[in-house]
Structure 1
Amino acid sequence: MTNKYNAEQNKITKESILGALMSLMEKKDFKNISITEVSQKAGVSRMAFYRNYSIMEDILIDHLDDMFREYSTLLNHKEISNYEMTRLFFYYFRQHQKFIENLLRSKLTHLILERSIEFLDIYSKTITCTMDCSPEFEKYNIGFIAGGFFNVLMIWCKSGMTESDEKMAEIVHDRLSNHIAGITLTDF
């Protein structure tokens, strides 16, 4: 019971810290936001901050990891087409537009790219390639795909995400189809 309670309290603390940071990032440059400021706005102690994070960027990385875990649950079908995987990508990231805009303003979008590469590296075992995916080439395929998705996501976000998820999937699908035949996901 105590562990469940502690886990729930920890989750609430992390959500409060993230919410406080997002609010502050809408008004201030990330580099000018202090841990004390985030803690005060979140209504938690600095000690609570340091129980969960070492540095401010850890808040963003932790949230990105959660985002990619949630995105992977959308892909929980045994087989999913490239188009649907891509549509779900844009659908999911549209839900996090403010977060992405905050990273853009703060010049921290490299964190999205880094986490994208990490995500694809983990899930690359479930991807069916139409070309040689030997271990020596896998890192290049992952870099290519992550970089493409990342850059398209950044352009889309900078333009206000005006195109529909379906239109974005259509744009990317044609290019992606030349590199991946589809994915078959194992249980996460």
Structure 2
Amino acid sequence: MAATEHSQQIKQDSMDYLITALLDMLQTKNLNEISITQVVKKAGVSRMAFYRNFQTLEDILIAYYKPKIDSEFNIIINRVPQDKKLNALGQFFAEMANPMKLAAKRNYEFIIQNIFNDNITNFYDKVMNWNNFSNIQKKYWTSFMSAGVYAIWREWLNSGQNESLNDIHILISDFQVSTLKALTEQIIKK
């Protein structure tokens, strides 16, 4: 048992070293300018250690960001009262401002956006009542809202966060209500 715990600790240490090395390198280089060889050298681990844990550099970023973003969404979905969920989501956006700016600057924003999209889909699955909507409406409304919320978040970050989180919350809420109202009217017309 001790050998297993020891090997698991070595594996976790290797992962941590690789994550730290890549994040450090991304402070000055774009993701596509960094090689696996450079990361393993900076991390002080072997290529074998890299490939035991990851297949690509993108996998390192997913291993770093996914648990953080998943955890925040889990708290918002399961612990925040219904009427405070969008405000909590806005607070999460504010906390992610610097990592998002770096991701956009260093060409790995797509990783965060994919994790965000998965989580926002889960968010709407948990907080929405889909009983009167078709699977097609649910699927495309969720995709539409996810892309829209992400675009609002990105624009807010890139434009200097001049508007208050409350203003952003109201805007997202208005879009959500308006689009749901349009879908509901479409259902009634059928």
Does the alignment reach a TM-score above 0.5? yes
Q: Is the 8 A contact 1:100 1:109 kept in 2?
A: yes
RMSD: 2.8
Runs of 4+ in 1 over 6 A off after TM superposition: none
Cα offset for 1:77? Answer: 2.5
Structure 1 unmatched runs, 5+: 182-188
Alpha-carbon deviation of 1:126?
1.5
Distance 1:88 1:4, change over 3 A: farther
Structure 2 length as normaliser, TM-score? 0.76
TM-score of the two chains, using structure 1 as the length reference: 0.77
CA-CA distance at 1:143 after TM superposition? 0.7
Q: Secondary structure at the match of 1:139?
A: helix
Task: Map 1:38-77 onto structure 2 (within 5 A).
Answer: 38-75=39-76, 76-77=78-79
Residue 13 of structure 1 aligns with an amino acid whose one-letter code is: S
Shift in Å, 1:120: 3.3
Contact kept in structure 2, 1:22 and 1:99, CA below 8 Å: no
Return the index of the structure with the highest Cα Rg.
2
Q: 1:5 to 1:132 in 2, by over 3 A?
A: farther
How far residue 60 of structure 1 moved from its aligned partner, in angstroms, is 2.0
Cα pair 2:117 2:146 within 8 Å, conserved: yes
More relative contact order, 1 or 2 (CA 8 Å, 6+ apart): 1
User: 2:101 maps to which residue?
Assistant: 101
2:121/2:146 contact within 8 Å kept: no
Q: Percent identity?
A: 22
Report which of the two has the higher share of helix: 2
Question: What does the per-residue CA deviation read over 1:142-174, in whole Å, with 9 as the maximum and x for residues that have no partner?
Answer: 111110111112112212334443343233222
Whether the 8 Å contact between 1:65 and 1:115 is mirrored in structure 2 is yes
